[in-house]
Amino acid sequence: MKLLTYAILMLTTAIFSLEMISAQAMETGKVFIIGLDSGGENLEAVKISNGETVHANVNSGVFFGDGFVVGMGNFEAQLTIGVKTNKGGGDADFYWLAVPVDLMLFYQVSNFRVGLGLTKHYLPRLESRSNIFTRSGTQYDNSDGDIAQIGWEPTGGNFSIDLRFTAIKFKEKNVSNAPELNGNVIGLYFVGKL
On whether residue 86 sits in a domain, the answer given is: yes
Angle at CA of residue 119, ends 13 and 85, nearest 5°: 150
CATH number at residue 161: 2.40.160
CB 146 within 8 A of CB 117: yes
On whether residue 69 sits in a domain, the answer given is: yes
On whether residue 21 sits in a domain, the answer given is: no
Phi, psi at 53, each rounded to 5°:
-95, 130
DSSP string, 107-136: EEETTEEEEEEEEEEEEEEEEESSS--TTT
Which is nearest to 191 in space by CA: 82, 96, 86? 82
Q: Quickly state the pLDDT bin for 46 (edges 50, 70, 90).
A: low
Per-residue pLDDT tens for 86-137?
A: 866 555 567 788 999 999 999 988 899 999 999 999 999 887 766 655 566 7
Q: Give per-residue burial for 96-122: e unless 16+ CB within 10 Å, then b.
A: bebebbbbbbbbbeeeebebbbbbbbe
The structural domain count of the chain equals 1
DSSP string, 167-191: EEEEEBTT-TTPPEEE--EEEEEEE
On whether residue 22 sits in a domain, the answer given is: no
Per-residue pLDDT tens for 142-151?
A: 999 999 999 9
Residue 98 belongs to domain spanning:
2-16+28-193
Query: Cα separation of 181 and 179, whole Å?
Result: 6
pTM (2 d.p.) = 0.81
Q: What is residue 23's predicted lDDT score, i.e. its pLDDT?
A: 46
Give the single-character DSSP code of 140: B
Looking at per-residue pLDDT, the higher value among 62 and 26 belongs to: 62
pLDDT for residue 80 is more than 90: yes
